[in-house]
Amino acid sequence: MPYPYQITTPGAYQDAYQKSIDTPEKFWGEIAENFRWQKKWNEVLQWNFKEPRIEWFRGAKLNITENCLDRWVEKQPDTPAIIWEPNDPAEASRTLTYIELYEKVCQFAQVLRDNGAKRGDRICIYMPMVPELAIAILACARIGAIHSVVFGGFSSQSIADRIKDAQCNIVVTADGGFRGNKTIPLKEIVDDALATCPSVKKVIVLTRTGIPVSMMKDRDIWWEDEIEKIEKKGINEFEPEIMDAEDMLFILYTSGSTGKPKGVVHTCAGYMVWTHYTFVNVFQYQPGDIHFCTADIGWITGHSYIVYGPLSAGATSLMFEGVPTWPDAGRFWDIVNKHKVNILYTAPTAIRSLMGFGTKPIEGKNLQSIKVLGTVGEPINEEAWHWYDEYIGKKKCPIVDTWWQTETGGILISNLAGVTKSKPTYATLPLPGVQPVLVDEKGNIIEGNGVSGNLCIRFPWPGMLRTTYGDHERCRTTYFSTYENLYFTGDGCLRDEEGKYRITGRVDDVLNVSGHRIGTAELENAINMHTGVVESAIVGYPHDIKGQGIYAFVIFNAIHTDENHTRQDINQTVTKIIGAIAKPDKIQFVSGLPKTRSGKIMRRILRKIAEGELQNLGDTTTLLDPLVVDEIISNRL
Ligand code: WTA
């Protein structure tokens, strides 16, 4: 068996789970034996959730890229590591075998080194979904630099905030990127960001679109020119930097309930073991399978299940540059057919959006190769689950509903494809090592089945976050202080009579729009930057395709000649400050917001109004101005 720790029967799952609870150190120590280490650990686990301090495989030394590349180069150099499908189906796809990927990573590692990058430096990556993005990530890991990938849909302001927070000294980007019928001027966006980021000394620019860009002398260099220099020297190897188990591997920014996104930090060894173990078990990967995760590498799903999980398993990972609906809504199915995809991992939003096109785009497409389907990022509704099962899986493929977060590094709750049972809309069971608990408002643990509460985890797992970059206290208060000695996920959850888990959505001020996390405070801050806006309040409401839509209540003090024009202006502000993904779906102008006497906005009431639940608004008598509620209701959009 290629992966000796692969769980293949329900009984083996029970055994593994039990062992992971009874003797966690022994359990993870044995699994970790299957990786390549420069030096083994002295201790498997040290932890307390108070500070918090979490250390896995303490004292061990490794480089994650030796596990993702070198060991597979020795075993299967010609196995495809990355298959890349471009945005435009008329352009040729590319395949990089393990040896080819290895050489490219080593060469780019040399480029980084030659341009001043050192172990521990932070490097910002803002790129389209091309193989060079994975190459840049792995090259950072090779030299021991910490990558901070920023999703290509974020604005220059967002990039600048992230660069400053991490004090990055290098940016890797491209001239532009293709997404559907759009061309995104990535370099230009980076240039705007860098006007306020003196820490950045070098910008390495890949050619992707050929659009004109401005190159600043001594700072900006072309990827291709640098590689040419390396090739002339005949370099195609690079000695991996030997890292400590708990050295930082990467930072990934994510939105929370406070204004500023936080840099979630993952470290080398624990993250590697976790993404690998969950990849192999949840998807039941078999050598030769083609794994297609449709996420963007700018999000955690792409980090863990396009790059590190699959490559650490010697798998073939398919990377897609485009969008599901361009040139038409059959794009995913053409890709499945063309590359004979075996595992398809996507978001409920994509499924719901494709459902909207009916079954026509699927007709005549050969989906026979698919063995396993997966979903991630948000709760999946029954209808979408059954559509996925019937039309894509043809009722013969298990669907894994995988619940996890940027902070958890990899999947925590999910059925194992074809091994443990699925249940529509349920993530079902915790993976070995994961100890979920439900707590009530007061933090009391709710025992038994058929109950619901706030989802917490009471024991560390190797892939969990270690800190938030530059602000450990923020990590403690956000995740470890709400309930004593528990990691708080921010999600509400139900445990059914059989002990299976169903995630019901965020219970904090974070929205999940098309599977993207948007902090309401962050969005309100952005809207309030508009000169005419006095105050705003954001809530979510159910949206057929996006899962949640964004409803903005805005107090506007300037006279608007045309309300729709003002709405566009506000959207423009949001696009500039955060990015287009955070644009509100509805903007209602109000003269006041429902506030308590102490000045706190009663979001509960706004949420009900946005959801259209006008009958049962609850107690409004404590409001400063109860009449404002009537006004808001009568002008509801
Ligand atoms: C939500 C994405 C229901 C949840 C990997 C979580 C889900 C947030 C599921 C994390 C699922 C993710 N069912 N809800 N299978 N997967 N979520 O950090 O609210 O982008 O807290 O990580 O997405 O989003 P993030």
Q: Is the pLDDT of residue 1 over 80?
A: no
Query: Hey, what are 358's tokens?
Result: 């009916």
What distance in angstroms lies between residue 506's CA and the mean position of ligand 1's atoms? 9
Shortest-distance Cα residue to atom 5 of ligand 1: 405
For the segment 288-305, what is each residue's pLDDT rounded down to a tens digit?
A: 999 999 999 999 999 999
For a ligand 1 pocket test, name from 352, 378, 413 the mutation site with the most ligand atoms within 8 angstroms of its C-beta.
Answer: 378
Task: Render pLDDT for 469-482 as a digit per residue (tens, 0 to 9).
Answer: 999 999 999 999 99
Name the E strands within 140-226: 146-149, 170-174, 177-179, 182-184, 202-206, 220-222
pLDDT at 407 over 80: yes
**What confidence tens digit (pLDDT) does each residue in 499-531 have?**
999 999 999 999 999 999 999 999 999 999 999
User: What number is the average pLDDT over the span 580-608?
Assistant: 93
pLDDT band for 281, please (50, 70, 90 cuts).
Answer: very high
DSSP label at residue 426: B
What is the C-alpha separation between 144 and 241, in angstroms, rounded? Answer: 6
Cβ atoms within 10 Å, residue 543: 16
pLDDT surpassing 90 at residue 370:
yes
For residue 56, the tally of other CB atoms under 10 A from its CB is 30
The pLDDT confidence band at residue 627, using thresholds 50, 70 and 90, is: confident
Burial class, 173, CB count within 10 angstroms (exposed 0-12 / middle 13-18 / buried 19+): buried
The pTM (predicted TM-score) of the whole model is 0.97
Which residues have CB under 8 Å from 454's CB, separation 6+?
A: 438, 439, 440, 441, 483, 488, 489, 491, 492, 493, 507
Q: How far is the CA of 457 from the centre of ligand 1 (A)?
A: 15
* Residue bearing the CA closest to ligand 1, atom 24: 405
The pLDDT of residue 412 is: 98
Q: Which residues lie with the beta carbon below 6 Å from any ligand 1 atom?
A: 254, 299-301, 376-379, 401-406, 427, 489-491, 503, 505-506, 512, 517
CA of 376 to the centre of ligand 1 (A): 7
Query: Three-state SS for 317?
Result: strand
What are the two backbone dihedrals, phi and then psi, of residue 35, each rounded to the nearest 5 degrees?
Answer: -110, 175
d(C-alpha 130, C-alpha 407), whole Å: 25
pLDDT band at 410 (very low <50, low <70, confident <90, very high): very high
Instruction: Return the ligand 1 atom nearest residue 505 CA.
Output: 19
Q: Is the pLDDT of residue 402 over 90?
A: yes
Q: How many CA atoms lie within 13 A of 441 on its CB side?
A: 0
Angle between helices 223-232 and 98-114 (to 10 degrees): 100
Residue 159 in this model has a pLDDT that exceeds 80: yes
Fold of 510-634: GMP Synthetase; Chain A, domain 3 (3.30.300)
Q: Rounded mean pLDDT of the chain?
A: 96
CA distance 600 to 535: 12
d(CA 404, CA 453): 17
Q: Is the pLDDT of residue 430 over 90?
A: yes
| In the chain, where the domains are located | 65-241, 510-634
Helix axes 563-577, 520-528, angle to 10 degrees: 120
- Interatomic CA distance for residues 634 and 637, integer angstroms: 9
Pocket test for ligand 1, best of 345, 407, 491 (most atoms within 8 A of CB): 491
Q: Whose CA is nearest to atom 1 of ligand 1?
A: 378
Nearest 10 degrees: Cα torsion 276, 282, 286, 291? -80
**What does the block give as tokens for 24?**
């966690």
Query: Which backbone phi and psi does 131 adopt, to 5 degrees?
Result: -55, -30
The residue to mutate among 264, 265, 380, 403, having the most atoms of ligand 1 within 8 angstroms of its beta carbon, is 403
**CATH T-level topology, domain 65-241:** Rossmann fold (3.40.50)
| Contact between 294 and 332 (Cβ < 8 Å) | yes
Nearest CA to ligand 1 atom 25: 405
| 214 — pLDDT class (breaks 50, 70, 90) | very high
